[in-house]
């Protein structure tokens, strides 16, 4: 169970932190708590896996990864656990989820792939499709990014 303080901390540190030598001191002042308490809570969130990562988010296009492909496959329920693990094992795959299907949309295994070239992404999807033995798939490249922000908790 998260306290009011936890909620305030989570809301604050989910946004860009100040770029100063002692960022946690600044943040703890804003929260009206001691820095020690804040650092302890951070370690607690990390140990409990609530906090996935505390790091820099990069603009992938600006570092050369211009292509962002969402590849989706239609996999039987029986095989999806194994297929998901195989897809996830590829370093170029940043996200891999099983998702519910919808009427007229039979894809249930989703992955995000970032590549420097379009053909790199397509080649990888072909390779993965061979490994998981599924040719019922689509590759959806993003053609415009309308929004990409931190979550507001």
Partner 1 sequence: MPISRPVKSKLSLLDKRILGCLQEDIAFVARPWKVASAKLNIKEDYLLKRIAFLKKQGIIRRISAIFSPGKINFISTLVAAKIAPQCIEKVAKRINLYPEVTHNYRRDAEYNLWFTLIARDVQRINQIISRIKQDKNIKKISQFPATRIFKINVKFPLKGL
In the window 96-125, what residues touch partner 1 (CB under 8 A)?
A: 96-102, 105, 110, 114
Please tell me whether residue 51 binds partner 1 under the rule CB under 8 A: yes
CB atoms within 10 A of CB 60: 16
63 binds partner 1 (CB under 8 A): yes
Shortest Cβ distance from residue 85 to partner 1 (Å)? 6
Are 88 and 98 a contacting pair, CB within 8 Å? Answer: no
- Taking the alpha carbons of 47, 50, 54, 60 in that order, is the dihedral positive or negative? positive
70 binding partner 1? (CB under 8 A): yes
Contacts (Cβ under 8 Å, ≥6 apart) of 141: 67, 68, 69, 70, 118, 121
CA distance 103 to 35: 51
Q: Which of 66, 127, 130, 131 binds partner 1 (CB under 8 A)?
A: 66
**59 near partner 1, rule: CB under 8 A:** yes
> Residues 32, 49, 76, 78: which binds partner 1 (CB under 8 A)?
49
Take residue 12 and report the two structure tokens written for it.
């604050």
Complex with partner 1: residue 57 or 135, whichever CB lies closer: 57
Under the criterion CB under 8 A, does residue 19 sit at the interface with partner 1?
Answer: yes
Smallest distance from the beta carbon of 130 to partner 1, in angstroms?
Answer: 18
Q: Which helix (H) or strand (E) holds 82?
A: helix 80-88
């Amino acid at each position: 169970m998260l306290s009011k303080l936890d909620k305030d901390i989570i809301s604050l540190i989910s946004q860009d932190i100040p770029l100063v030598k002692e960022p946690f001191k600044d943040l703890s002042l804003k929260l009206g708590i001691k820095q020690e308490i804040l650092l302890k809570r951070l370690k607690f969130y990390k140990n409990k896996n609530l906090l996935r990562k505390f790091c820099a988010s990069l603009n992938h296009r600006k570092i050369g990864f211009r292509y962002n492909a969402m590849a989706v496959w239609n996999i039987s329920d029986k095989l999806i656990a194994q297929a998901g693990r195989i897809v996830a094992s590829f370093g170029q795959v940043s996200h891999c989820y099983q998702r519910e299907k919808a009427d007229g949309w039979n894809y249930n295994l989703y992955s995000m792939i970032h590549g420097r070239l379009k053909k790199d992404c397509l080649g990888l999807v072909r390779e993965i499709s061979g490994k998981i033995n599924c040719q019922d798939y689509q590759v959806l490249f993003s053609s415009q990014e309308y929004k990409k922000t931190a979550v507001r908790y």
